Amino acid sequence: MDFICGNSSGWIRRKGAVTKAFFPSVRNRLLQKIPIFTELTTILTGHGKTSSYLNRFGLIDNPMRPCEEEEQTVDHLIFKCKKLSNQRNEMIQQIKSTRGNWPAKNEIIIKNYVNFFVKFVKSIEFIDLK
């Protein structure tokens, strides 16, 4: 695991950049009520079903699959992937309907728009993104 929580002020290890983008402090994460399911864990940690992660461990040859635009990272899936444009547009409309701004930082997305974000993540067919 790339991070260990030791106190409520911050993460102890330097790794875990994806998680830190959503939860800058351990306290933020502990106070946040979020559903736990595999796909959301993948997005919140960067560990799991992305081509970037699978390539890092030699499980696939190309970290840019399937769209070939750029490496398939968590941020690519949330903000750029053309294959998810319909799902992303729906999430953006929901966020803007609450007077929210887009694009938003990952921390703001999970803090202020968790229900919209969870719906977006649940709509991702990871099997189609390989």
Q: pLDDT digit string (tens) for 6-23?
A: 444 454 455 789 999 999
Q: Are 22 and 44 in contact (CB under 8 A)?
A: yes
Q: Which of 69, 22, 75 lies closest to 53, judged by CA? A: 75
Q: Are 18 and 24 in contact (CB under 8 A)?
A: no
Instruction: Note the pLDDT tens digit of each residue in 60-119.
Output: 888 887 777 888 899 999 999 999 999 999 999 999 999 999 999 999 999 999 999 999
pLDDT at 45 over 50: yes
Rounded CA separation 16/18 (Å)? 6
Average pLDDT, the chain: 86
Distance of CA 104 to the CA centre of its chain: 12
Q: pLDDT confidence of 42, banded at 50, 70, 90? A: very high
What was the pLDDT predicted at 130? 67
Q: Quick one: average pLDDT of 24-52?
A: 90
44 contacts: CB under 8 Å, gap ≥ 6: 18, 19, 22, 23, 34, 110
